[in-house]
Structure 1
Amino acid sequence: MQFGVTIHVNESEEIPRAVIVKNLHPTEFFPKSITIDDFPGKGLIHFDCNYWVYNVGKYSYDHVFFSNNNYLLTDTPRPLQSYTKELRHLRGDDMNMK
């Protein structure tokens, strides 16, 4: 199944490095991937998802999917640094946090 979306990009940023997904539907869904075709100056941008996205009533914070670019922690682009909580959650690191 495919969905169309509207993407808002801050002009000061080069390319989207992450997408925020909010599920306003009453049931969860499982996106396999998100692909932006023909982005100006970049072409194809792919986000692997493979994760359940629950509706906003069950999921307490924004769900973030990161692009297929890898960054060392020290090289993480500034706009993505605020999502380290989500990264820890996706890795399972938050299970051990108190």
Structure 2
Amino acid sequence: MNPRALLAAFAIGTTGLAVAPVHAQAADPCSVYVCMAGISGDGTTGGPECAGAIAAFHAIQVWDPKFDSGATAAARRTFLMTCPGAQVSTNAAVLNTIITQWGYSP
């Protein structure tokens, strides 16, 4: 049993209280930026290290009530822009490529 599950089982068993699930931290925008830049440039996957980052990028979706591709692209761009490296003027083309290729699809 992993330590987190063991601790939760112990807390429930000793106190009788329910323990809220532990949520993973939000994806690091710089990791997402680097991984998305890799698959946008030459089509490489980035390996298993990028699987979570790529999934986090695609999880950013706006539904109003149907899928809104323009708002999704804007939300994804805003998220990537929280990485300081994405805001460097020399990286603007990379950011635009990511959004053009991947920003508008669910």
- The bucket for the TM-score relative to the shorter chain is under 0.3
**TM-score of the pair, normalised by structure 1:** 0.25
More helix by percentage: 2
More strand by share: 1
